[in-house]
């Protein structure tokens, strides 16, 4: 039970003066002092703590502060006086943050749709939960805080239900909420396939038609509630009281009286690979799969869905790690076989045929073992039933939600072959002042599958490869598939392949650039790797407090394995350290500044950013891709059945699989990186 919740904005924590600002607050108990005083007090205490002691919990004068940091310097703070359930308090903040984000996202989308109607919604990376958004919607948030929490006890946090309850802002775009508006909240739209998008837009078109014809019974109540004339209080009350009912019903996440003319359920199993490969030693350093099962349901009434997977030990009851290396190889082969069959089955998203739906017993593939770990289910899943018959039984919320998430740790089964392998060679041709980059992709998936949106990002660190700017057309490439670009701002060579069929086992590419100073590059590379190998032996430490190098080093450090240590100090000849070259870059920049009369501050910021970007992609080749119709873990939906007691309709289930890797260069997360660490053998000089 929390006493109050505050939403605050604190941009630059370690600035000389306090910038912590209280945006919105709500008290639930009367046992605490004034909000502004409390927040100021908290900020003061927080500042006084050394950085490594800044935990999410802080106790002072008998009041415990719990913080939850969101993006954009927003943080949520709750206070309590007694020994409350801390986990409840933190989850509450997390949920509140999530809900508000969803509200803002929705609003944001509506606004943008209005601005550019008809345009395909773009990848939504810009932040929505900002100080401005909070201030704009203060009344909405106040209502949310009031509605979700009563007496400091959480009541309801389901976005789909809340959005109908709190209608204050939702009226903004009442006319043009298309189905797509809310669908992609959790699933970022870049993971959607083209076909998916087509379907979506089709559906939303349908919806619009429906609303025109005023046949209110066709779509779900929530759509109606949003769209219908808001002034009519009769409707409002009806909807509101239905919410009151759902709040206290066993199924709190689903409204009653939802009706669709066509009943569909979409199940997406999306696996994100987290993969690190060391090119020098040709070993897989980490190979982890993070999977989610996203469901979008457009089902009438109160359906019960049963879902079977080819995973015997879903509930982890018996899982004792026996699916280890010894049985691994065999498994894998079988898996591949099954993949082949299933791949055909589900090709092109054929809806599972009607008869498979009716099949009473799940056809579980007995021999297949998918060692899922850390499965977590949505609250709509009846957990007790999973143990009994290994079926996931649930009553889905309307629209999109995440049914379960899982992780496959591949530490034990390193034998599993990677989907893609890359073999890059940097060749420095000294006499011509050229750098040639040769790159080969080797694929390892079924012939019928296609890898989409493949992007290989080959880093060209400016300190290692100072490019000559004199020659305009210095960049040339030749590729069997796709096209190659040089990106200046991040200093990378990008190789884009829109569609790579599995039948093509290897693809090659060559790119050529002009180097400013080949000698320098050769030296720098050899020095770099020598120092790295030395330090691997001797374990040097950086001891450099400069921001740039610590950033750079930081990234290397934490990447589990050894080769790249820091480059400074241990080098015998400081002239060729990246540090030195960066300095020389700086000088060049300063000259440019003089030339263009730009003040120094901005340029130094640029240099810093540049360095950070460099640090990010210094020694790793990143790969982004999507492979539809494949789950790397081999997880499959084997059985699905939808039952509705009263209506007895037939339902169209759609199942999709996707394996992907994204390395968002701006994101801080370490998830979903598919990378190859370079070693000295990748660099050649002729």
User: How far apart are CB 85 and another protein at their closest, in Å?
Assistant: 5
Query: Binding of another protein at residue 270 (CB under 8 A)?
Result: no
Compute the half-sphere exposure of residue 596: CA atoms within 13 Å on the CB side of its CA.
10
User: How far apart are CB 40 and another protein at their closest, in Å?
Assistant: 13
CB of 107 closer than 8 Å to CB of 51:
no
CB of 656 closer than 8 Å to CB of 370:
no
User: How far apart are CB 347 and another protein at their closest, in Å?
Assistant: 32
- 388: exposed, middle or buried (Cβ count in 10 Å: 0-12, 13-18, 19+): exposed
- 669: exposed, middle or buried (Cβ count in 10 Å: 0-12, 13-18, 19+): exposed
Rg (CA), the chain: 28
End-to-end CA distance of the chain: 70
Applying CB under 8 A, the site for another protein has a residue count of 119
The correct pick among 213, 558, 599, 666 for binding another protein (CB under 8 A) is 558
Residues from 155 through 174 that contact another protein (CB under 8 A): 155-157, 168-169, 172
Cα dihedral: 538, 544, 545, 548 (round 10):
-100
Q: For another protein, which is the closer residue by CB, 94 or 124?
A: 94
Query: Binding of another protein at residue 110 (CB under 8 A)?
Result: no
- 186: exposed, middle or buried (Cβ count in 10 Å: 0-12, 13-18, 19+): middle
- 33: exposed, middle or buried (Cβ count in 10 Å: 0-12, 13-18, 19+): exposed
User: How far apart are CB 319 and another protein at their closest, in Å?
Assistant: 7
User: How far apart are CB 369 and another protein at their closest, in Å?
Assistant: 16
User: How far apart are CB 231 and another protein at their closest, in Å?
Assistant: 7
Q: For another protein, which is the closer residue by CB, 57 or 283?
A: 57
Q: For another protein, which is the closer residue by CB, 99 or 627?
A: 99
**DSSP H or E stretch at residue 397:** none
Q: Does residue 339 sit in helix, strand or coil?
A: helix
User: How far apart are CB 493 and another protein at their closest, in Å?
Assistant: 24
Residues from 606 through 665 that contact another protein (CB under 8 A): none
Residues from 434 through 493 that contact another protein (CB under 8 A): none
Residues from 119 through 138 that contact another protein (CB under 8 A): 132, 135-138
Query: Binding of another protein at residue 151 (CB under 8 A)?
Result: yes
The correct pick among 282, 350, 383, 588 for binding another protein (CB under 8 A) is 383
CA 411 to chain centre: 22
The correct pick among 268, 271, 565, 620 for binding another protein (CB under 8 A) is 565
Residues 6+ away with beta carbon under 8 Å from 281: 679
Query: Binding of another protein at residue 286 (CB under 8 A)?
Result: no
Residues from 23 through 52 that contact another protein (CB under 8 A): 23-25, 29-31, 34-36, 51-52
The correct pick among 8, 77, 105, 140 for binding another protein (CB under 8 A) is 140
Helices 600-616/547-558 angle, 10° precision: 10
User: How far apart are CB 678 and another protein at their closest, in Å?
Assistant: 18
Where do runs of H (alpha helix) occur along 116-249? Answer: 131-136, 138-148, 159-165, 180-183, 194-213, 221-227, 233-248
Residues from 211 through 250 that contact another protein (CB under 8 A): 231, 233, 236-237, 240-241, 244-245, 247-250
User: How far apart are CB 53 and another protein at their closest, in Å?
Assistant: 7
Q: For another protein, which is the closer residue by CB, 250 or 572?
A: 250
Stretch that binds another protein, among 117-125, 559-567, 593-601, 603-611 (CB under 8 A): 559-567
User: How far apart are CB 314 and another protein at their closest, in Å?
Assistant: 9
CB of 511 closer than 8 Å to CB of 475:
yes
**DSSP H or E stretch at residue 406:** strand 399-409
Q: For another protein, which is the closer residue by CB, 3 or 200?
A: 3
CB of 58 closer than 8 Å to CB of 47:
no
Nearest C-alpha neighbor of 488 from the set 384, 673, 398, 613: 613
CB of 617 closer than 8 Å to CB of 552:
no
- The 48-87 contact track toward another protein, x by CB under 8 A, reads ---xxxxxxx-x--x-x-xxxx----------xxxxxxxx
Q: Does residue 68 sit in helix, strand or coil?
A: strand
Q: For another protein, which is the closer residue by CB, 157 or 297?
A: 157
Q: For another protein, which is the closer residue by CB, 93 or 493?
A: 93
DSSP 680: G
Query: Binding of another protein at residue 103 (CB under 8 A)?
Result: no
User: How far apart are CB 186 and another protein at their closest, in Å?
Assistant: 13
Residues 6+ away with beta carbon under 8 Å from 460: 435, 467, 486, 491, 492, 493, 513
Q: For another protein, which is the closer residue by CB, 77 or 511?
A: 77
Stretch that binds another protein, among 515-523, 533-541, 594-602, 627-635 (CB under 8 A): 533-541
User: How far apart are CB 23 and another protein at their closest, in Å?
Assistant: 8
Query: Binding of another protein at residue 102 (CB under 8 A)?
Result: no
Residues 6+ away with beta carbon under 8 Å from 507: 440, 441, 443, 479, 480, 481, 482, 497, 500
Query: Binding of another protein at residue 548 (CB under 8 A)?
Result: no
In sign, the C-alpha dihedral spanning 50, 56, 57, 58 is: positive
- 552: exposed, middle or buried (Cβ count in 10 Å: 0-12, 13-18, 19+): buried
User: How far apart are CB 577 and another protein at their closest, in Å?
Assistant: 16
The correct pick among 213, 358, 411, 646 for binding another protein (CB under 8 A) is 411
Query: Binding of another protein at residue 361 (CB under 8 A)?
Result: no
User: How far apart are CB 72 and another protein at their closest, in Å?
Assistant: 15
**Dist. CA 104–CA 98, nearest whole Å:** 10
- The 659-678 contact track toward another protein, x by CB under 8 A, reads ---------xxx--------
Residues from 320 through 359 that contact another protein (CB under 8 A): 320
Q: For another protein, which is the closer residue by CB, 152 or 482?
A: 152
């Amino acid at each position: 039970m929390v006493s109050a919740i505050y939403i605050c904005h604190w941009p630059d924590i370690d600035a000389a003066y306090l910038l912590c600002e209280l945006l919105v607050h709500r008290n639930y108990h009367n046992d605490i002092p004034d909000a502004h005083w409390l927040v100021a007090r908290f900020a003061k205490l927080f500042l006084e703590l050394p950085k490594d002691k800044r935990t999410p919990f802080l106790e002072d004068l008998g009041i415990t502060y719990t913080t939850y940091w969101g993006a954009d310097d927003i943080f949520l703070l709750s206070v309590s006086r007694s020994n409350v359930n801390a986990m409840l308090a933190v989850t509450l903040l997390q949920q509140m943050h999530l809900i508000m984000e969803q509200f803002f996202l929705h609003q944001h989308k509506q606004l943008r749709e209005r601005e550019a109607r008809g345009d395909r919604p773009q990848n939504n990376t810009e932040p929505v939960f900002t100080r401005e958004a909070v201030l704009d919607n203060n009344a909405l948030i106040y209502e949310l805080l009031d509605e979700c929490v009563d007496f400091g006890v959480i009541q309801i946090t389901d976005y789909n239900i809340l959005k109908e309850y709190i209608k204050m802002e939702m009226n903004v775009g009442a006319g043009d909420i298309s189905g797509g508006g809310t669908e992609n909240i959790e699933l970022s739209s870049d993971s959607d396939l083209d076909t998916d998008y087509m379907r979506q837009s089709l559906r939303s078109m349908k919806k619009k038609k429906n609303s025109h014809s005023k046949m209110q019974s066709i779509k779900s109540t929530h759509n109606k509630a949003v769209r219908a004339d808001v002034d009519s209080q009769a409707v409002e009350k009806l909807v509101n009281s239905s919410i009151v009912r759902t709040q206290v019903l066993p199924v709190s996440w689903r409204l009653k009286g939802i009706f669709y003319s066509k009943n569909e359920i979409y199940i997406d199993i999306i696996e994100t690979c987290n993969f690190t490969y060391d090119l020098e030693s040709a070993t897989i350093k980490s190979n982890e799969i993070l999977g989610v099962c996203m469901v979008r349901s457009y089902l009438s009434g109160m359906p019960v869905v049963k879902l079977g997977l080819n995973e015997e030990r879903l509930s982890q009851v018996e899982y004792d790690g026996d699916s280890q290396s010894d049985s691994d190889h065999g498994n894998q082969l079988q898996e591949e076989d099954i993949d082949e069959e299933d791949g055909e089955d589900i090709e092109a998203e054929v809806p599972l045929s009607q008869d498979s739906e009716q099949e009473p017993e799940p056809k579980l593939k007995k021999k297949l073992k998918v060692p899922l770990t850390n499965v977590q289910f949505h609250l709509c899943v009846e957990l007790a039933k999973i143990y009994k018959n290994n079926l996931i039984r649930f009553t889905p919320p309307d629209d999109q939600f995440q049914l379960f998430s899982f992780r496959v740790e591949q530490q034990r089964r390193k034998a599993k072959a990677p989907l893609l392998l890359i073999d890059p060679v940097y060749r420095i041709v000294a006499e011509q002042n050229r750098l040639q980059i040769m790159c080969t992709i080797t694929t390892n998936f079924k012939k019928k599958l296609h890898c989409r949106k493949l992007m290989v990002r080959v880093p060209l660190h400016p300190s290692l490869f100072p490019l000559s700017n004199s020659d305009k057309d210095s960049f040339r490439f030749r590729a069997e598939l796709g096209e190659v670009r040089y990106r200046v701002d991040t200093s990378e060579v990008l190789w884009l392949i829109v569609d790579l069929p599995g039948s093509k086992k290897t693809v090659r590419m060559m790119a050529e650039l002009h180097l400013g100073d080949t000698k320098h590059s050769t030296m720098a590379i050899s020095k770099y790797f020598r120092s790295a190998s030395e330090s691997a032996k001797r374990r040097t430490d950086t001891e450099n407090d400069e921001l740039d190098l610590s950033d750079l080093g930081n990234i290397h450090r934490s990447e589990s394995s050894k080769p790249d240590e820091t480059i400074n100090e241990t080098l015998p000849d400081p002239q060729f350290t990246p540090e030195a070259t960066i300095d020389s870059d700086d000088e060049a920049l300063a000259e440019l500044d003089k030339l263009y009369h730009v003040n120094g501050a901005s340029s130094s910021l640029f240099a810093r950013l540049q360095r950070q970007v460099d640090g990010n992609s210094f020694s790793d080749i990143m790969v982004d891709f999507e492979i539809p119709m494949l789950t790397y873990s081999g997880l499959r939906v084997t059985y699905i059945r939808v039952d509705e007691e009263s209506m007895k309709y037939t339902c169209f289930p759609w199942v999709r699989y996707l394996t992907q890797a994204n390395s968002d260069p701006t994101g801080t997360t370490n998830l979903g990186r598919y990378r190859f660490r370079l070693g000295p053998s990748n660099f050649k000089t002729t």
